[in-house]
Amino acid sequence: MADEVDEYEHYNYEADRIAAKGSGKGRSKTEQRERTHSDPSGETRKIVTNIQNAEKKEKEKNLTKQAHAAQHAKKQS
């Protein structure tokens, strides 16, 4: 009798996937842990990219200010 499987038995096999909280893309908790990015320093790439973009924008901003100042000085002379 223990070997008998009815049409709803497959729901019992996936109970850990259904009951899992969070965004696991249908994975069990163990699968989620296995698939996580294990960079010990955290999200370094994202932080570095953010800093580089901020520096680039600051340079562009300064160049624009200098260009406007030069045009303004040219008009007054």
Domain that holds residue 15: 1-36
Spell out the alpha helix ranges (H) of 1-77: 9-13, 15-19, 29-35, 44-76
- 3 and 32 part of one domain: yes
Residue 9 to residue 54: CA distance in whole angstroms: 55
The distance from CA 43 to its chain's CA centroid, rounded to whole angstroms, is 9
Per the structure, how many domains does the chain have?
A: 2
- pTM for the whole thing? 0.42
11-35 pLDDT, tens digit per residue, is: 666 555 555 456 657 778 888 878 7
- 44 and 27 part of one domain: no
- 26 and 58 part of one domain: no
- 25 and 45 part of one domain: no
- 27 and 48 part of one domain: no
Contact 17, 27 (CB under 8 A): yes
Angle, CA 18 vertex, CA 17 and CA 22 arms, to 5° = 80
Res 7: pLDDT = 75
pLDDT confidence band for 6 (50 / 70 / 90): confident
